[in-house]
């Protein structure tokens, strides 16, 4: 059967976490045909060997950058695919996830895109607190503002993706995409469904640094460089402008 869902995973040297992600995608409890596309940007750490154990849809994206990797995967999806699911290489999904995505789009014809809640892979009290704060923030944006779709977990109708132009290889690629897809139709955040996201950034930056880091991602386009410099120096946390380097 021709796939109705394309699960797209952008990769660049993610051998340490990729297998758990791909295994979670391969072990889905769904009757809907789907394909798994790994969009690789030149991995040299064995990621390709891992990917080939789970799918024959491993494609090579010559342009570095996670926005480019996602978009290249979407452009190479099967023509029959009606829905795109973008999952980062360090994010595992529950076994019912694809069935949930399919049913949610099917029963909500005006819905063009959505994301779900998440938890961190490490379940310390600090990690739980950080995830709770982040999920409440995304839900607040859903209720009061336009929805921000975190790039590690985004579901979108194929036709809406095409209409808004898809991911671009820019700073804040997920915020940029969210602004444009919100103009197409209904976009939602569903906190009751949770994927498992790597806690590696939080482990390296701490809770305060991570909260500030993601605030920069959402608000950075409104902040001038002088303010970012002052806050970054005072809090001793990562600079928004390092985001591109981290994501490549």
Do residues 44 and 14 make contact, with C-beta atoms less than 8 angstroms apart?
no
Residue with tokens 């959402």: 218
* pLDDT tens digits for range 71-126: 999 999 999 999 999 999 999 999 999 999 999 999 999 999 999 999 888 877 87
User: How many Cα atoms are found within 13 Å in the side-chain-facing hemisphere of 40?
Assistant: 23
What value does the mean pLDDT take over residues 41-57? 96
* Structure-model confidence comparison of residues 138 and 153, the more confident one: 153
* pLDDT tens digits for range 32-44: 999 999 999 999 9
Residue with tokens 């069935």: 99
pLDDT of residue 45 exceeding 80: yes
Dist CA 181 CA 211 (whole Å): 25
| Beta pairing class for 34-40 and 153-157 | unpaired
* Structure-model confidence comparison of residues 202 and 15, the more confident one: 15
- Helix, coil or strand: residue 225: helix
Which segment of 61-65, 81-85, 198-202 scores lowest on mean pLDDT? 198-202
- Helix, coil or strand: residue 72: helix
* Structure-model confidence comparison of residues 189 and 245, the more confident one: 189
Q: How would residue 208 be classed by pLDDT, with cut points 50, 70 and 90?
A: low
Which segment of 4-18, 44-58, 226-240 scores lowest on mean pLDDT? 226-240
Percent of the chain with pLDDT over 70: 81
For residue 220, what is the DSSP state?
A: G
What value does the mean pLDDT take over residues 167-187? 91
Do residues 98 and 23 make contact, with C-beta atoms less than 8 angstroms apart?
no
pLDDT score for 180: 96
Dist CA 163 CA 206 (whole Å): 38
pLDDT score for 140: 81
pLDDT of residue 188 exceeding 90: yes
Do residues 69 and 61 make contact, with C-beta atoms less than 8 angstroms apart?
yes
What are the chain's domains? 5-123+147-198 (3.90.550.10)
What value does the mean pLDDT take over residues 129-151? 81
């Amino acid at each position: 059967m021709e796939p109705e869902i394309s699960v797209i995973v952008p990769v660049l040297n993610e051998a340490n976490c990729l297998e758990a992600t791909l295994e979670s995608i391969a072990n889905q409890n769904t009757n809907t045909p789907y394909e798994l596309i790994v969009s690789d940007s030149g991995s040299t750490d064995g990621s390709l060997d891992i990917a080939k154990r789970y799918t024959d849809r491993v494609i090579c994206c010559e342009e570095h950058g996670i926005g480019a990797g996602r978009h290249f995967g979407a452009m190479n999806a099967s023509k029959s695919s009606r829905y795109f699911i973008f999952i980062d290489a360090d994010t595992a999904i529950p076994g019912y996830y694809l069935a949930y995505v399919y049913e949610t789009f099917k029963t909500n014809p005006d819905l063009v895109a959505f994301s779900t809640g998440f938890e961190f892979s490490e379940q310390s009290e600090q990690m739980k607190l950080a995830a709770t704060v982040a999920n409440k923030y995304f839900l607040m944006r859903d209720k009061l503002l336009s929805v921000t779709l975190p790039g590690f977990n985004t579901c979108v109708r194929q036709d809406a993706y095409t209409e808004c132009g898809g991911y671009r290889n820019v700073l804040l690629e997920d915020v940029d995409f969210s602004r444009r897809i919100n103009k197409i139709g209904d976009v939602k955040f569903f906190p009751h469904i949770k994927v498992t996201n790597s806690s590696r950034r939080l482990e390296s930056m701490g809770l305060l640094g991570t909260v500030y880091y993601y605030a920069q991602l959402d608000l950075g386009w409104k902040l001038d460089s002088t303010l970012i410099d002052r806050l970054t120096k005072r809090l001793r946390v990562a600079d928004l402008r390092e985001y591109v380097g981290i994501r490549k």
